[in-house]
Structure 1
Amino acid sequence: MTSFDPQLPLFLGLMSGTSADGIDAALVQFPEAGGCRFVHGHTYEWDATTRQALIALGQGREPASLDALGQLDAQVGIAFADAANRLLDEAGVPRAQVRAIGSHGQTIRHRPLAEPAFTWQIGDANRIAEDTGITTVADFRRRDVAAGGHGAPLMPAFHMAMLGNTGEDRAVLNLGGIANLSLIGRDGSLRGFDTGPANALLDGWCQRQLGHAFDADGAFAASGQINAALLARLLSDPWFALPPPKSTGREQFHLEWVETQFGADAMAPADVQATLLELSAATVADALLAHLPGVRRVLVCGGGVRNPHLLRRLQARLPDVVIGSSAEYGLDPDYMEAMGFAWLAHETLAGRPGNLPSVSGARGPRILGAIHLA
């Protein structure tokens, strides 16, 4: 059995992000003195057919039918429940010792600027509660949207709870399918927002050109040359000039969007990959320098932490900033968001708000999520 404090409740977080590259499952505890004790974690691959359907919906394609969408919602819920059960079996932890599961679900639409605004995550939490026998908290984003916010990003509150009060201007950078920042000021202030695409475009282009799910170590991008004209056209998208609060997803940044910027130029596939990687580095660096100009440290989490070429390009644009992994502060970068949704479940059950109006733009603090009792 995995070691944990028997006096503290266990929480299990489930997360599948914009890239839909797997279900991250993390089992954690939250000591009363603060912090997050990581107990066990694993990433479970999606069934290939399900993943293709999720990516297609996330990029704005319409479902084949309402029946197909309803079945996908149930299938995703079953997959999340299976991930939770497998994690607990691997850890040797009885289900009765887990206080709750926090499930993000899978985003298929995110339209915070629509009228009325909405965000939509599927993955039926009733299935999770039923198949695991554990109380499940889910649907975290829509209450914030109902209160006038973007419903995203939600991780800055967790980052502040775990990494705040440092006496320096620091940022937490999540390099998932979409990149987002938590800006923690030395004065205790906190802001956060999405900066644009990160792994979603890189993974998509690599899959199309090489048949690989991701660009291992950024080698494909490193083999190409940045196309300055293409980069300028991509950066001219009006979304990048929007002020925070702001959030985005695959429906905004997808390969079809990239291809509309090719123009008449003939570009080698590796050059496109190099340019997409530079787009990620440039938009993150520009946002940091604009909104936290005194930043001295950036802690990176998410899949991009394993792309050394992306980190090198980011460092080149931020030469005076120390860039490192969140692991240096005891938070596993691979499971940061899963741990964050476990924390949100913990906060919801405690009756505490999980959103930050300074981040999302909501009218005020709100208790997030729907509770599905075991």
Structure 2
Amino acid sequence: MRKEGALWALGAMSGTSLDGVDAAMIRTDGITIESFGPSAFRPYSAKEQATIRAALGRWPGEPGVAEAARVVEDAHVELLARFTGAELVGFHGQTLAHDPAGRGTHQCGDGALLAQVLDLPIVWDFRSADVTMGGQGAPLAPFYHFALARHLGLTEPVAFLNLGGVGNLTCVNPTADRPETPGALLAFDTGPANAPLNDLMLARTGQPVDRDGALAARGRVDEDFVARVLSDPWFDLPPPKSLDRNDFQSMVEALDDLGDADAAATLTAVAAAGVGAGLLHLPAPVSRILVTGGGRRNPVMMAELRRRLPCPVQPVEDLGLDGDMLEAQAFAFLAVRVLRKMATSGPDTTGAPALVGGGQISRPEG
């Protein structure tokens, strides 16, 4: 493995929305982005989703975890084997439980197994070192967001908003020298995003998502409910901070008295309102918010963001990026940084007391 210059790295992400596995290649030296490569998506079947869902909130050795890990590993092998030319892989695994102040963080999936099957070096277990150091272990994409802002030639403060199962925001000052520079980044989770909405849809309609916001578009937002959710003390906590997928799960049951459309509209509004609350924690306004993740495909959620936020909101595609693959690309980028012993998180992104180089490397030869 070359110690200098750019590498073709393949990253994979299986997010808290539980829709499937994203994989994407980039060419990078871990500092700058030289070029973007191919990408692909492998959806989870309904049975696979159910197996993973049954293990949510559980820790290694607990019932259902081994079965979920097997689903995750098999899906990744099937998808990643389609790619050629990768020199290493960044494998995030599937987050089943996240409790940085307590038991830690748990991403199922064995990177050592993938290294043997794929015959490639695998960088994995990205979050544990940060949590062990006292950080939140999330979000981890901010160092990549910094590289993206520089790659795009941006000069004003900008925020990347990822709307997956949980929302997270990265404020980037692209005039800083490096992502490690104090003031270059501020990152944190904003609150629940697609996870409770997806759970509501599955429970009430049997569909995994509110595709194109079709159900929410027919409903009316219960603003009193949104205000009650935003009154939770978590939203007042200063960043960095992070959430588990199920931390606000009780919202779904609390909406039992609303019809399907109104409940979907209300949960969509909660996601946007959480972002608005998060912006209050920024040290200075941002010029715009660039949205990535599945939530940007929901026109009702995007409309709620534009209605509730004080700055322009646009999908990352407006700048030529792929919002479906940005997190997979991020773990390809981080894999190269781990390989080269660079920091992957720090005080302004996860709250760790010092810069952290997370991740472990498994090689085919063991």
TM-score by length of 2: 0.89
Structure 1 residues 171-229: Cα deviation after superposition (integer angstroms, max 9, x where no partner): 00001111000012366321000001111111111222222221111111110001122
| Contact 1:172–1:301 (8 Å) recurs in 2 | yes
Amino acid at match of 1:38: F
Aligned partner of 1:239: which letter? W
Q: AA paired with 1:172? A: F
Return 206-215 or 331-340, whichever deviates more.
206-215
Q: Distance in 2 between matches of 1:137 and 1:186?
A: 27
Work out which of the residue numbers 94, 97, 111 in structure 2 matches 1:125.
Answer: 111
The alignment status of 1:195 with 2:190, answered yes or no, reads yes
- Once the two structures are superposed, the pairs formed by residues 178-189 of structure 1 within 5 Å of their partners are 178-185=166-173, 188=176, 189=183
- Are the structure 2 counterparts of residues 62 and 340 from structure 1 closer, same or farther at C-alpha, using a change threshold of 3 Å? closer
Contact persistence 1:356–1:365 (CA under 8 A): yes
Contact 1:202 1:215 (8 Å CA) reproduced = yes
Could you tell me which residue of structure 2 aligns to residue 4 of structure 1? none
Give the helix-richer structure, 1 or 2.
1
Mapping for residues 13-52 of structure 1, pairs under 5 Å: 13-30=11-28, 34-52=32-50
CA distance in 1: counterparts of 2:215 and 2:342, whole angstroms: 45
Question: For 1:62-141, what aligned pairs fall within 5 Å after superposition?
Answer: 66=62, 68-86=64-82, 88=83, 93=84, 97-114=85-102, 117-141=103-127
Structure 1 CA distance for aligned equivalents of residues 30 and 229 of structure 2: 46
Query: What secondary structure, in the 3-state scheme, does the structure 2 residue paired with 1:110 have?
Result: strand
Instruction: Please give the alpha-carbon distance, in whole angstroms, between the structure 1 residues aligned to 2:92 and 2:235.
Output: 26
Task: Please report the TM-score for the alignment, with normalisation by the length of structure 1.
Answer: 0.88
Deviations 1:145-170 (A, max 9, x none): 01110000001111012214733121
> What is the RMSD computed on CA atoms of the aligned residues?
2.2
Do the aligned residues in 2 keep the contact of 1:28 with 1:38 (CA within 8 Å)? yes
Task: State the distance in 2 between where 1:168 and 1:31 align.
Answer: 24
Question: How much does 1:347 deviate?
Answer: 0.6
Residue pairs, 1:328-343, within 5 angstroms? 328-343=318-333
Is the 8 Å Cα contact of residues 164 and 293 (structure 2) preserved in structure 1?
A: yes
Contact 2:316/2:322 (8 A) holds in 1: yes
Change (3 A) 1:36 1:186: closer
C-alpha displacement of 1:28: 1.7
- The answer as to whether partners of 1:78 and 1:127 remain within 8 angstroms in 2 is no
Q: How does 1:235-250 map to 2 (within 5 A)?
A: 235-250=230-245
1:269-323 deviation per Cα after TM superposition (whole angstroms, max 9, x unaligned):
111111101101111022114425522211111011111111111111125x221
Matched with 2:300 is: 309
> Is 2:215 aligned against 1:205?
no
Query: Partner of 2:179 in structure 1?
Result: none
Matched with 1:360 is: 350
- Between the aligned residues of both structures, percent identity stands at 38
For residue 53 of structure 2, what is the aligned residue in structure 1?
A: 55
1:218-233 to structure 2, matched below 5 A, reads 218-233=213-228
Residue 327 of structure 1: which of 317, 320, 323 is its match?
A: 317
Q: Greater shift after overlay, 332-341 or 73-82?
A: 73-82
- Could you tell me which runs of 5 or more consecutive residues in structure 2 were left unpaired when the two chains were aligned: 177-182
Equivalent residue runs for 1:145-164 within 5 Å:
145-164=131-150
**Are the equivalent residues in 2 in contact too, given 1:169–1:292 (CA < 8 A)?**
no
CA contact (8 A) 2:59 2:65 kept: no
AA aligned to 2:343 is P
> Is the Cα contact below 8 Å between 1:78 and 1:128 reproduced in 2?
no
Distance 1:72 1:217, change over 3 A: closer
Aligned partner of 1:196: which letter?
G
Corresponding pairs, count? 351
